[in-house]
Amino acid sequence: MPLREIGSTGIQVTPVAMGCWPIAGVTSIHVTEENSLATLQAAADAGITHFDTAWIYGYEGESEKLIGRALGHRRDEITIASKGGIHWENREQAHDARPETIRAECEGSLKRLGTDRIDLYYLHSPDPAVPLAETAGAFRELLDEGKIRSVGVSNCRVPQLEEFSRVCPLSASQPPYNMLQRHIEEEHLPWCREHNVSLMIYWPLMKGLLAGKLARDHQFEPQDGRQKLPMFQGEEWEKTQDLLDVLREVAAEAEVTIAQLVIHWTISQPGITAALCGAKRPEQIVETAAAMNISLTESQQTRIDQAVAERGSTILTRPV
């Protein structure tokens, strides 16, 4: 697949990006520094050019530090997105999107990444205690100073996109989106297409559920937080397993994995610029990167679309 532009910035990215939350090891299990560094390198070797991280990805910014270590020598070959506005307090997430905080967190991210610019810098989430226009003003200043090349917002609703964009040029929005959670198609996606705002979606595999490797009778390890989500329980779980049965048949016919099939479907949806694919081992990101290079027949695409429609959209855990 050809590169895609972020908004109207001229910045080009691959439609499969690496989401760098898992490599920090905060919420993912069985993460090692060796594997995290190797995964970043494998992603770049597989053709991925866009890497998405955040200050909060790691209690001490570990994700950003790993990117700097693994890919610093390839800085001009890649684009980096990071985020500010949420930090850790006693291992709990806390919002702080005051202008002075946004600036300080951006400066910290630049230092940890070992770079002089961040290609795409997001407000990680609106801060209820700070007027959004004030936060947007800080992003505008960073943009004007050249510390960041473009601006995005994450976990925002359409009215918030509108409010933010009145103060600062908005080039990207980052909501959750996958075969199971398609609510952005109603309002969020049309607004972004109308205003030339790229959708850089996360959770395309819904935390591994749509990779098709969790059997119906799968037993989660006690420390695996996914089992607390409604998507991984009861009727929602069973309906998704029915969908996966169909995807498994199409994937076998197309000689691809289920994960590749799902990622390909996601990045082929109108208005989607890139899908952020998390990974903590090299083979995982190599597999999903290959989704950029597969092709499906019209019949296969129709069968997938029908199965997705029959499954139906489900409960969101993030705003759209």
pLDDT of 224 reads 87
pTM of the predicted protein model: 0.95
pLDDT of 1 reads 74
What's the CATH class of domain 4-208+259-294?
A: alpha beta
Beta strands in the chain, from DSSP E residues, in sequence order: 4-5, 12-13, 16-19, 50-52, 79-84, 86-89, 92-95, 120-123, 151-154, 172-174, 198-201, 272-278
User: Which H, E and C letters describe 3-72, residue by residue?
Assistant: CEECCCCCCEECCEEEECCHHHCCCCCCCCHHHHHHHHHHHHHCCCCEEECCCCCCCCCHHHHHHHHHHH
pLDDT of 317 reads 66
- Catalytically active residues, by annotation: 57
Using a 10 angstrom Cβ sphere, with 0-12 exposed, 13-18 middle and 19 or more buried, the burial of residue 2 is: exposed
Using an 8 Å Cβ cutoff, are 30 and 280 in contact?
A: yes
Bridge partners (DSSP) of residue 168 are none
Radius of gyration of the chain (CA): 19
Can you tell me the distance from the alpha carbon of 111 to that of 249, in angstroms, rounded to the nearest whole number? Answer: 47
Residue ranges of the chain with per-residue pLDDT less than 50:
none
Enumerate the domain spans of the chain. 4-208+259-294
For the segment 204-246, what is each residue's pLDDT rounded down to a tens digit?
999 899 999 999 999 999 888 889 888 999 999 999 999 999 9
Tokens representing 79?
């684009």
Q: Do strands 12-13 and 4-5 pair parallel, antiparallel, or not at all (unpaired)? A: antiparallel
DSSP state of 148: B
